[in-house]
Amino acid sequence: MKVGRFVAVATSVAAVVTLAGCGDSSEENSAKVKEAAQYSGDDRQGYLEECAKEEGSLSVYSAQQTDLWQPLKEGFQKKYPGIKVETTRRTSAETAETLSKEAQAGVNKADVIDVKVEVAESLLDLFAPFSSPELEAYPETAIGPDSKYVISDQIPYGIIYNTDKVPNPPKTSEDLLKPEFKGHIAMSTTLLGTQWVGWMENKYGEEFLERFGEQDVRTTDANTDAIIAQVAAGEALVAPGVNLSGVEALKQQSPNAPVEWLPVDPQWTQGALSMAAKAPHPCAAMLYIDYELSAEGQTINPLYLSAREDAPTPDVVQGENEPVDIWEIVGEHSAQAYQDASRRWTELVDRYIIK
């Protein structure tokens, strides 16, 4: 049962790549999409606003959490009250599968897409190259191939622990192998959990995972918010592969919650913002992309970190503590390499950690 679940996840993501590859990538984008996406005249803002008012709305397919996309939607509609934003939220894999199937059926609903960067790489044929004045504030590494996406949000993942019950918190991931943590480690087996397993194999080798599995890890397919709640309640003492934003959000609600985030072998999850190649509302889409990439859009929820070079970054993830990105863990920047690596990580979880 458990193995089947993981295989299904890997298969669905692999199917997305196949479907996207079968789309009609040879068809030229419409003149309107090209013009809106690449317009660089001095009257660009006026041109986009006038055109977007005529369009009246746009559709955003997003894998972002509600606490990020909802403020973005509200902020955009406050700035452009005549443009309605319709947001459809699914996971990155579900969003990608929907886009690919719609493309095959000749259905064009999406204007803006925001999914994890590793999934965006498998959908490049469905995205339009775009240019925005806001890109000047982003490093080259944040801009995808042919300017078809930009890293729009980043969340660091590390280790959390219960501050009331753990006097000596882990300083390295290898500290999770200490006897006092046996039976008291919580871990999510979602894709982010398996990504942590891949990072550990990359850094410490497969033997580490075998020893980690001997710690009687409490695995669950719940998201990291549920893991944070377990540690805060003392049901588990420590947990790897947990996001900083989730911990900070809990502390905002419950300032005395006994849980702390540590930048131990941290990694990023990164969102990629794109424009659909056949966007039905390209001018509104471009205005939305401009807004999300702006300084205002990038700081609308401070729990999500920006790739903008002029945006503040918490000290906890600077310098030696800067998280690695997915491509460093995979070892190669390609959608196929990610799919292959993801399947292997799932196999490692099944082999060593799930009991």
Longest CA pairwise span in the chain (Å): 66
Predicted local distance difference test score (pLDDT) of residue 118: 94
* pLDDT above 50 (res 15): no
Please state, in angstroms and rounded to a whole number, the distance separating the CA atoms of residues 37 and 34.
5
Predicted local distance difference test score (pLDDT) of residue 129: 97
256: which residues sit within 8 A by CB, 6+ positions away?
none
Arithmetic mean of pLDDT, 49-77: 95
Predicted local distance difference test score (pLDDT) of residue 139: 95
Predicted local distance difference test score (pLDDT) of residue 348: 96
Arithmetic mean of pLDDT, 92-111: 94
Predicted local distance difference test score (pLDDT) of residue 9: 38
* pLDDT above 60 (res 353): yes
Predicted local distance difference test score (pLDDT) of residue 302: 86
* pLDDT above 60 (res 11): no
Question: For residues 140 and 263, is the Cβ–Cβ distance under 8 A?
Answer: no
Q: CATH number of the domain at 2-154+270-298, out of 3.40.50.410, 3.30.70.60, 3.40.190.10, 1.20.1260.10?
A: 3.40.190.10
Please state, in angstroms and rounded to a whole number, the distance separating the CA atoms of residues 323 and 268.
6
Domain boundaries, the chain: 2-154+270-298, 155-269+317-353
Which of left, alpha, beta for 106 (phi over 0: left; psi -120 to 50: alpha)?
left
Instruction: Show the tokens assigned to 97.
Output: 């599968």
Please state, in angstroms and rounded to a whole number, the distance separating the CA atoms of residues 291 and 49.
12
Give the distance from CA 280 to its chain's centroid. Answer: 25
27-52 pLDDT per residue, tens: 444 789 999 999 999 999 999 999 99
Predicted local distance difference test score (pLDDT) of residue 22: 36
Predicted local distance difference test score (pLDDT) of residue 111: 98
Predicted local distance difference test score (pLDDT) of residue 316: 86
Average pLDDT, the chain: 90
Please state, in angstroms and rounded to a whole number, the distance separating the CA atoms of residues 95 and 97.
5
Burial (CB count within 10 angstroms: exposed 0-12, middle 13-18, buried 19+), residue 7 = middle
DSSP string, 114-173: EEEHHHHGGGGGGB-----GGGGGS-GGGB-GGG--EEEEEEEEEEEEETTT-SS--SSG
150-205 pLDDT per residue, tens: 999 999 999 999 999 999 999 999 999 999 999 999 999 988 889 999 999 999 99
Residue from 185, 186, 159 nearest 170 by CA: 159
Please state, in angstroms and rounded to a whole number, the distance separating the CA atoms of residues 155 and 175.
23
Question: For residues 285 and 86, is the Cβ–Cβ distance under 8 A?
Answer: no
Report helix, strand or coil for 88.
strand
Query: Which residues make beta-bridge pairs with 151?
Result: 272
CA atoms within 13 A on the CB side of 104: 13
Question: For residues 114 and 85, is the Cβ–Cβ distance under 8 A?
Answer: no
Burial (CB count within 10 angstroms: exposed 0-12, middle 13-18, buried 19+), residue 310 = exposed
For the chain, give the percent of residues with pLDDT over 90.
80
CA torsion through residues 271, 313, 194, 328, sign: positive
Amino acid, res. 167: P
Return the ∠ at Cα 69 (arms to 11 and 273), rounded to 5°: 60
113-139 pLDDT per residue, tens: 999 999 999 999 999 999 999 999 999
pLDDT band at residue 23 using 50, 70 and 90 as cut-offs: very low
Report helix, strand or coil for 28.
coil
Predicted local distance difference test score (pLDDT) of residue 268: 92
Please state, in angstroms and rounded to a whole number, the distance separating the CA atoms of residues 123 and 98.
11
Question: For residues 111 and 282, is the Cβ–Cβ distance under 8 A?
Answer: yes
Question: What is the second-level CATH architecture of the domain 155-269+317-353?
Answer: 3-Layer(aba) Sandwich (3.40)
Predicted local distance difference test score (pLDDT) of residue 5: 31
CA torsion through residues 101, 104, 108, 111, sign: positive
275-326 pLDDT per residue, tens: 999 999 999 999 999 999 999 999 998 888 999 999 988 888 888 889 999 9
Q: What is the pTM of this model?
A: 0.86
Asked if 2-154+270-298 and 155-269+317-353 have one fold, the answer is yes
